[in-house]
Amino acid sequence: MAPHSSIFTLKLLLLLFLFRFSVSEIIFEETFQDGWQHRWVKSDWKSTDGKAGSFKHTTGKWSGDPDDKGIQTTGDAKHFAISAKIPEFKNKNRTLVLQYSIRFEQDIECGGGYIKLLSGFVNQKKFGGDTPYSLMFGPDICGTQTKKLHVILSYQGQNYPIKKELECETDKLTHFYTFILRPDASYSILIDNRERDSGSMYTDWDILPPRKIRDLKAKKPADWDDREYIDDPNATKPEGYDKIPKEIPDPNAKEPDHWDEEEDGIWKAPKIPNPKYRGPWKPKKIKNPNYKGKWKVPYIDNPEFEDDPDLYVLKPIKYVGIEVWQVKAGSVFDNVLICDDPEYAKQVVHEVFANRELEKEAFEEAEKVRKAREEKEAQRAREEGEKRRRERDHDRYGGRYRDKYGRHRHDYMGDHVSIILYMTYFFTNNS
- Residues annotated in a binding site for an alpha-D-glucoside: 114, 116, 133, 140, 323
Q: How far is CA 395 from CA 309, 383, 398, 399, in A?
A: 85, 19, 5, 7
Output Rg (C-alpha) for the chain, integer angstroms.
40
Count CA atoms within 13 Å of residue 262 on its CB side. 0
Phi, psi of 215 (to 5 degrees): -80, 100
Three-class HEC string of the chain: CCHHHHHHHHHHHHHHHHHHCCCCCEEEEECCCCCHHHHEEECCCCCCCCCECEEEEECCCCCCCCCCCEEEEECCCEEEEEEEEEEEECCCCCCEEEEEEEEECCCCCEEECCEEEEECCCCHHHCCCCCCCCEEEEEEEECCCEEEEEEEEEECCEEEECCCCCECCCCCCEEEEEEEECCCCEEEEEECCEEEEEEEHHHHCCCCCCCEEECCCCCCCCCCCCCCEEECCCCCCCCCHHHCCCEEECCCCCCCCCCCHHHHCCCCCCEEECCCCCCCCCCCEEECCCCCCCCCCCEEECCCCCCCCCCCCCCCEEEEEEEEEECCCCEEEEEEEEECCHHHHHHHHHHHHHHHHHHHHHHHHHHHHHHHHHHHHHHHHHHHHHHHHHHHHHHHHCCEEECCCCCEEECHHHHHHHHHHHHHHHHHHCC
For residues 213 and 206, the answer to whether their CB atoms sit within 8 Å is: no
Other Cβ atoms closer than 10 A to 299: 13
Annotated binding site, which residues?
A: 114, 116, 133, 140, 323
